[in-house]
């Protein structure tokens, strides 16, 4: 901390959310300042330099936020070892290496979702956090949705009875490299998103949302069955479509992730929650629709969600709030729930390879 402000750095520009995440801290200028940024080294050299590419975004971070740009993330760590927290948006498979280096120094790690590429990586992060006495925050864009928070609150209050099913699917998406990068197929194949070894693929990119939200609403996952397919992006070896079915005590969830959905076709992305007395949908208009009457197409109730707590409406605000002594972060950002979500994704990936239902192994498998 310098002059009463938290020193924040950034490592890894593989994920396109980094610039937005940095802005949420830049907007907390009274409490935090951005000091330095560096990328990690990709497994395959990237030729992309356009906006929303890792090279383009690293350059933009220097221009937009005035941060020092370091050539190597380990050099940044040595030069700015007094930082309070660090944003991490590297490849999913590299989260454990970067997070361990931070956490064991006592630096809080703010990771972009999901926590890691597999459960073993997630548990490495958890052990490092405990050893270094530092915190892990996981950023989920869904965390900042008032409608999703309202849906979880209503489910907990029994608004539609006992919950026994949840469905999550992402909205329209043609993949992570369809947001202004103007990349050729050959260039897309160079990027980690389409490389399984780097933690790419639609399962980790999109099914992860459902893994987090279903654990938050339904509790400890027990087992999962997963399927993957690469139907429209053979320039890489990662799947562009995935489905995970998760078994909970007393219910199940279905999680869909797709990089080849042109339009949602009017179908709600949700999450959708089924209970013994009705159905709830977090709709795209930001409200929660509740259906309790059989065969009635109109909702019986439409709930306007409560606004997010003042001073805790963004990633930067939430992290600063917690560092100032405000307690634990929102449950979706905290380590216990993210390990549960990771156990679902890990079981789903193992199931896609084995063709069998796989147990969702929890923290007890390797945190001690």
Q: Are 92 and 117 in contact (CB under 8 A)?
A: yes
Query: CB burial class (10 A; 0-12, 13-18, 19+) of residue 60?
Result: middle
| Structural domain count of the chain | 2
Query: What's the CA gap between 283 and 274, in Å, rounded?
Result: 14
What CATH number is attached to the domain comprising 270?
Answer: 3.30.360.10
Q: Is residue 368 included in any domain, yes or no?
A: no
Q: Is residue 337 included in any domain, yes or no?
A: no
| Residues in the chain, total | 368
Residue entry with tokens 């999550």: 168
Specify whether 254 is located in the same domain as 152: yes
Angle at which helices 119-132 and 335-354 pack, to 10 degrees?
160
Specify whether 101 is located in the same domain as 223: no
Specify whether 49 is located in the same domain as 94: yes
Q: Is residue 280 included in any domain, yes or no?
A: yes
Rg (CA), the chain: 20
Specify whether 127 is located in the same domain as 150: no
- Token readout for 123 is 């548990």
ω into 271 cis (within 30 of 0): yes
pLDDT of 366: 60
Specify whether 160 is located in the same domain as 286: yes
Q: Is residue 125 included in any domain, yes or no?
A: yes
- Give the number of other CB atoms < 10 A from CB of residue 41: 10
Q: Are 170 and 143 in contact (CB under 8 A)?
A: no
Q: Is residue 176 included in any domain, yes or no?
A: yes
- Give the number of other CB atoms < 10 A from CB of residue 110: 28
Specify whether 239 is located in the same domain as 257: yes
Query: CB burial class (10 A; 0-12, 13-18, 19+) of residue 304?
Result: exposed
279 contact partners, CB below 8 Å, separation of at least 6: 160, 272, 273, 290, 291
Strand order in the sheet with 301-303: 301-303, 288-291, 278-282, 272-275, 163-169, 251-258, 241-248, 221-229, 358-359
Specify whether 100 is located in the same domain as 237: no
Specify whether 118 is located in the same domain as 57: yes
Specify whether 261 is located in the same domain as 119: no
Q: Are 317 and 311 in contact (CB under 8 A)?
A: yes
Q: Is residue 128 included in any domain, yes or no?
A: yes
Segment-wise mean pLDDT, segments of 10 residues, the chain, 368 residues: 94 97 98 98 94 95 98 97 98 98 98 98 97 98 98 98 98 92 94 98 98 98 98 97 97 98 91 98 97 97 98 98 96 97 98 98 67
Specify whether 48 is located in the same domain as 126: yes
What CATH number is attached to the domain comprising 316?
Answer: 3.40.50.720
Structural domain harbouring 71:
6-142+311-332
Specify whether 105 is located in the same domain as 158: no
Q: Is residue 104 included in any domain, yes or no?
A: yes
Q: Is residue 270 included in any domain, yes or no?
A: yes
Specify whether 176 is located in the same domain as 215: yes
Task: Report the candidate in 313, 332, 312 with the shortest Cα–Cα distance to residue 322.
Answer: 312
């Amino acid at each position: 901390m310098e002059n009463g402000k938290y020193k924040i750095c950034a490592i890894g520009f593989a994920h396109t959310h980094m610039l937005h995440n940095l802005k949420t801290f830049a907007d907390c200028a009274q409490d935090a300042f951005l000091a330095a940024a560096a990328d990690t080294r990709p497994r395959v050299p990237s030729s992309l330099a356009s906006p929303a590419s890792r090279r383009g975004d690293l350059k933009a971070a220097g221009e937009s936020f005035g941060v020092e740009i370091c050539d190597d993330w380990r050099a940044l760590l040595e030069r700015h070892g007094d930082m309070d927290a660090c944003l991490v948006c590297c490849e999913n498979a590299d989260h454990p290496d970067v997070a361990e280096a931070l956490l064991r120094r006592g630096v809080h790690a703010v990771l972009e979702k999901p926590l890691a590429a597999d459960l073993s990586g997630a548990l490495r992060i958890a052990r490092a956090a405990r050893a270094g006495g530092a915190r892990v925050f996981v950023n989920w864009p869904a965390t900042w949705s008032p409608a999703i928070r309202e849906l979880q609150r209503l489910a907990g209050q029994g608004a539609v009875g006992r919950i026994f099913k949840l469905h999550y699917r992402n909205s329209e998406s043609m993949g992570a490299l369809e947001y202004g990068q103007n990349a050729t197929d050959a260039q897309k194949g160079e990027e980690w998103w389409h490389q399984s070894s780097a933690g790419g693929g639609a399962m980790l990119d999109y099914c992860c949302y459902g893994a987090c939200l279903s654990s938050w609403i339904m509790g400890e996952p027990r087992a999962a069955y997963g399927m993957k397919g690469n139907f429209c992006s053979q320039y890489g070896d990662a799947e562009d479509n995935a489905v995970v079915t998760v078994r909970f005590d007393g219910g199940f969830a279905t999680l869909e992730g797709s990089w080849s959905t042109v339009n949602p076709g009017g179908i709600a992305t949700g999450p959708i929650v089924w209970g013994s007395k009705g159905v709830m949908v977090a709709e795209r208009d930001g409200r929660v629709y509740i259906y309790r009457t059989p065969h009635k197409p109109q909702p019986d109730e439409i709930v306007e969600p409560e606004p997010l707590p003042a001073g805790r409406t963004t990633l930067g605000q939430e992290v600063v709030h917690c560092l100032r002594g405000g307690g634990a972060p929102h449950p979706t950002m905290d380590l216990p729930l993210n390990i549960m979500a990771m156990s679902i994704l890990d079981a789903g990936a193992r199931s896609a390879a084995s063709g069998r239902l796989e147990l969702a192994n929890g923290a007890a498998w390797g945190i001690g």
